[in-house]
Amino acid sequence: MDTIIAADTKWQLIAEKALNGGPLTLEEGLEVLDADNDEVLLIMNAAFKVRKHFYGKKVKLNMIINAKSGLCPEDCGYCSQSIVSTAPVNKYTLLDKETLLAGAREALARKAGTYCIVASGKGPTDKELNQVVDAVREIRETMPLKICACLGILKEDQAERLAEAGVHRYNHNLNTSKANYPSITTTHTYDQRVATVEKVKSHGMSPCSGVIIGMGETHQEIVEMAFALRELDADSIPINFLNAIPGTPLEHAGRTPSMKALKVLALFRFICPSKEIRVAGGREVNLRTLQPLSLYAANSLFVGDYLTTAGQEVSADHQIIEDLGFEIELNAL
């Protein structure tokens, strides 16, 4: 009993430190990831204290549309759409305006507050940007949705045009640590990703940037990723867990154990306490039956399918939220 009390006190002190704005040390971050699984519920309770302070029991829902699939010159080892992937995925150019508008209507039907327009490729062409801008303007005029765009590396004028069209948020994930980056991707750099997020911020769009857990990174690198996103001041932090797709260079990577995934979510909540922490791609195959517990640290999730992998039924996510006694935050950025 004394051991349990001591452990609970330790995690509650971590929570208090986060609430008071004090950044965790590297050693404290490693303690979270290295903790015995017997302490996971205590860690999640401490993370919930922080999450509840900033977000109460509300859950933000997001929906992705794969606006352009495959046809990508990048060599990202985790991605089924990359040039080095042999995975059998649909390949098509940017969807037309009516299809993008139909996706927005579907997002509303799923009770998603944010509609994410995602396109493969290193960055958008001017023609592609024109198509996105045209669709965004009409969505903004006709639907109560927040819009997030994820189109790759942006030029200065492209960022300006997206902001003027009404894009609320731009996603560009760091994905992994700076040290691990060359082993995952060689066709662009970690610094280019950071520069794009900074460019987005400079044009008034809300920065969204996250990670993919399970790509050979160490525990220290996971903590460093959280510190990097804190320094970058990302408003929204999607935490993806690798869903190893056959035909990709990382196809043989093992899944992240469910208990470790929960500790990762708690870690990001402690280090980035006031930010939207989104449990994202791969949650179904990594967290499995422990998915509901993730919302004690995270306050946001995707509903429906991802880019080339299937999510679970939207009704199942709605049921999780209801069973937890939480509520969907409609029209939430």
Binding residue numbers for [2Fe-2S] cluster = 116, 148, 208, 278
Provide the strand spans (E) within 86-151. Answer: 114-119, 146-150
Whether 116 is catalytic is yes
* Binding-site annotation: residue ranges for [4Fe-4S] cluster: 72, 76, 79
Whether 208 is catalytic is yes
Active-site pick, 76, 169, 193, 272: 76
Active-site pick, 51, 148, 193, 283: 148
Active-site pick, 51, 105, 110, 116: 116
Residue 296 near residue 44 (C-beta atoms within 8 A): yes
Structure tokens at 220: 């220290």
DSSP structure string for 199-241: HHHHTTPEEE--EEE-SS--HHHHHHHHHHHHHHT-SEEEEEE
Whether 272 is catalytic is no
Residue 167 near residue 200 (C-beta atoms within 8 A): no
Active-site pick, 51, 150, 161, 208: 208
CB-facing half-sphere around the CA of 90: CA atoms within 13 A: 12
Whether 278 is catalytic is yes
| Phi, then psi, of 177 in degrees rounded to 5 | -75, 160
Distance CA(314)–CA(306), nearest Å, equals 12
* Binding-site annotation: residue ranges: 72, 76, 79, 116, 148, 208, 278
Whether 150 is catalytic is no
Work out the angle between the directed axes of helices 156-165 and 126-142 (0-180°, nearest 10): 20
Q: Which residues are known catalytic residues?
A: 72, 76, 79, 116, 148, 208, 278
